[in-house]
Structure 1
Amino acid sequence: MNPIELKQPQRIVFGTGCMNKMCEEYLASGLKNLFILTADPILPLISPVIKHLEEGGVKTMVETKILGEPTVNDFKRILKEAQEFGADSVIGIGGGSVMDVAKLVATFMHTEQTIEECYGIGFVKQRGVWFACAPTTAGTGSEVSPNAILLDETDNGKKGIISNFLLADVAYLDPQLTATVPPRITAETGMDALTHCIEVYTNKFAHPCVDMYALKGIELIAKNLERAVKNGKDMEAREAMLLGSMYGGLGLGPVNTAAVHALAYPVGGMFHKSHGLSNSVLLPTVMKFNMEANAKRYADVAVACGCEPGATDEETALRGVEFVAQLSKNCGIPQTLAEIDIPQSEVPAMAAAAMLQQRLLKNNPRPVTEEDCKDIYNALY
């Protein structure tokens, strides 16, 4: 068994209403200048939190200008705002984009390193200021992962910064914050969380220490995603989805994702499609491509989804692929690249871009060539 390092936030606080605990703990911390990254639709939900903190003597600055997936220039602009404000602490309250930027802002507050020097794994040299994450979507698992992703405008490529210094001091997971997420975003982010769990479990570097999180995450999401999409006020489903998303996030540091994400990055980066949507469209086809490399693992995924075992692992695995595709369809997600307006003429360029994601492709259970990338993309027309 290969050695594995399990790292997570210093503390994880999970449960309905736990943002109240966040206020109590922050007011007792001695920190005074809190830079809050969030999004306009979230402000009504967290205005009581901000008011409570300000009444306790905390100076706050709220940044809501992260629109869509964040770029390198977005990050640099927001970092400058936080530095001019004199932030001694940062919290990201939002989806994965908001939390990723919050991690990076906190980490780069007082360093001479540039963001460009830190692309890849393990290049960040020091811890930044105190920071916390509070997810408002059940999707990325960013609140518990050491990963942050930015879109680099110079080449339209997704750049990952992975470091244990990007792990939050505290992750507050309050299902109430996800209750008003619209059905489309609930569906796309939920499928992103499912992708994390599946890719962690079927990864070439999968590990028993993480397998238990991945399988439980698959089970929770498979049972509850459609419920959450169709009734956003179903708090039992929302709680299960947030927990499943967190389990997926816990696998991103020690194991990480693979070919689905590698092929999704060009779709998102070149055509500005959401990360969750890009993963959703690709997931069943990549699962089918990978099945021959480890049918037993994909059969386990199918069983975790609630599928009846077949006569062989291959038969069971195929049922899992069909289940995932049907779940995505039931949640209203497009099933082909054509449906999301990606020109088939761009397949060669996307395939070349996907091959640059070797930090992910090396994890895939089956080797992936550039021709394989083209075949996978072309199968979605």
Structure 2
Amino acid sequence: MKPITILQPQKTVFGSGCIQTFVDDYLSLGHRRLFILTAPPILPLIEPAIKQLKDNGVNVEVFQNILAEPTLNDFNTILSIAREFRADSVAGIGGGSVLDIAKLVAAFIDSDQKAEDCFGTGFIKKKGLWLACLPTTAGTGSEVSPNAILLDERDKLKKGIVSPYLLADTAYVDPMLTMTVPSKVTADTGMDALTHCIEAYTNKFAHPAVDIYALQGIRLIAANLLRAVKDGSDIEAREALALGSLYGGLVLGPVNTAAVHALSYPLGGEFHIPHGLSNAILLPSVMKFNRSANLRKYAEVAIACGAPVGKDDNETAQNGVDFICELSKAVGIPQKLSDLNIPQSAVDGMAKAAMEVQRLLKNNPREVTEQDARDIYNSLY
């Protein structure tokens, strides 16, 4: 069995109400200038925690104007604000974009490096400030991954920075913070987390030490996503999705994703389609393309989803693709790129841009050519 490295935060806390654990832990550290990144809908949920911190002498600066698809320029502006505040610690409390920016702020605030010089894997030189990540969606798994994504305006393409120095010191996964997430966001982010798990499990570099997270993540999300979309107050479904998303995040470092994510980047970069929605609309088509490359693995994905077992792996794998298609429809994911106002004339440019994301395409179980990328995009019209 080949060696594999699984990177995780030093500490991960999971469970409803664990935002209080974050407060207690923070107060024990001795830091006194906390830069919190969040978003306006989340602020009411975390005001009691912020008050506790302030009442105990912590100087808290809250930045909440993070866009859904943050750009390199957005990040540099926020970094300047954090430097002016003289932060000695950082907390990200929000969805994937918020957490990614928090990770990058902590890494670069005291660094002479620039984010634009660190796109790719392994370019950050040193650990940054103490960092906590508290996800408020069950989607990206960013709280436990060494990855962060920014939109590079120079070529309208989303790019990843990957480094062990982007790992949070502590992740606090509190499902109660996801209870007010709207059904559409629940659907988009849940499909994103499901994509992480499916792409990791069927990946060319999949590994038994990671498969266990990926399979359990598939089981949890497939069984609970529709429940949470239909009833956001279903705490059991919310907890299951939060745990499934956490597992999806844990697979990103050692194995990472593949063609779904690579093909989704141009949708976000050029047309500003949210990351989760981009993955959700592409997932069934890429699964159809990949299925023949590893029928056994795709059959096991189908079984984890609860799809019917067929007479052989081929039939079972197809049942899994069908299940994902039906789940996508049931939770309200658009089924065509035209539904997102992306003209078919953009396909050639998107295919060319997707081929630049070899960091992920090299993981795909089946080689993806530029023509294959065109065909996958065109199948969605």
Q: Same fold per TM (> 0.5)?
A: yes
Alignment match, 1:358: 358
Q: Structure 2: which amino acid aligns with 1:241? A: L
Q: Which amino acid aligns with 1:248?
A: G
* Residues 152-171 of structure 1: CA deviation (Å, up to 9, x unaligned): 11111111000000000000
SS at match of 1:363: coil
> TM-score, structure 2 length as denominator?
0.99
Counterparts of 1:35-46 in structure 2, within 5 Å, are 35-46=35-46
Alpha-carbon offset, residue 68 of structure 1: 1.3
- Which residue in the other structure is 1:3 paired with? 3
- Note the C-alpha offset of 1:116: 1.4
Corresponding residue of 1:256: 256
1-structure distance, mates of 2:325, 2:274: 18
Tell me the TM-score normalized by structure 1.
Answer: 0.99
Q: C-alpha distance in 2, partners of 1:24/1:293?
A: 49
Distance in 2, Cα, partners of 1:334 & 1:153 = 26
Q: Deviation per CA, 1:48-98: give whole Å up to 9, x if none.
A: 000000000000000001021111011101111001001000000000000
Identity fraction in percent: 65
Q: Deviations over 1:101-154 (max 9, x none)?
A: 000000001110111111000000000000010000000000000000000111
TM alignment of 1:241-252, pairs within 5 A = 241-252=241-252
Matches of 1:338 and 1:319, distance apart in 2 = 26
Residue of structure 1 in register with 2:52 after alignment:
52
Could you say what the CA RMSD is over the residues aligned between the two structures, in angstroms?
A: 0.5
For residue 152 of structure 1, what is the aligned residue in structure 2? 152
Structure 1 residue 191 and structure 2 residue 191: aligned?
yes
Q: Give the AA of the match of 2:26.
A: Y
What is the CA–CA distance in structure 1 between the aligned matches of 2:319 and 2:200, rounded to whole Å? 19
**1:10 deviation in Å?**
0.4
**Which residue of 2 is the match for residue 134 of structure 1?**
134
**Structure 2 counterpart of 1:27, one-letter code:** L
Residues 1:328 and 2:328 are matched in the alignment: yes
After superposition, the C-alpha distances for 1:232-286 in whole angstroms (9 at most, x for unaligned) are 0000000000000000100000000000000000011110100111101100010
Q: Secondary structure at the match of 1:41?
A: coil
1:156-212 per-position Cα deviation (integer Å, ceiling 9, x unaligned): 111100000000000000000000000000000000000000000000000000000
- What is the SS of the residue equivalent to 1:40? coil
Q: Which amino acid aligns with 2:205?
A: F
Give the partner amino acid of 2:373. Answer: C
Which residue pairs with 2:111 in the alignment? 111
Aligned residues: 381
The answer for the alignment partner of 1:212 in structure 2 is 212
Q: Following superposition of structure 1 onto structure 2, how do residues 221-260 of structure 1 map, counting pairs within 5 Å?
A: 221-260=221-260
Residue 270 of structure 2 aligns with an amino acid whose one-letter code is: M
Partner of 1:348: 348
Partner of 1:166: 166
Where do 5+ consecutive residues of structure 2 fail to align? none
Q: Which runs of 5+ in 1 are unaligned?
A: none
User: Which amino acid letter does the alignment assign opposite residue 291 of structure 2?
Assistant: M
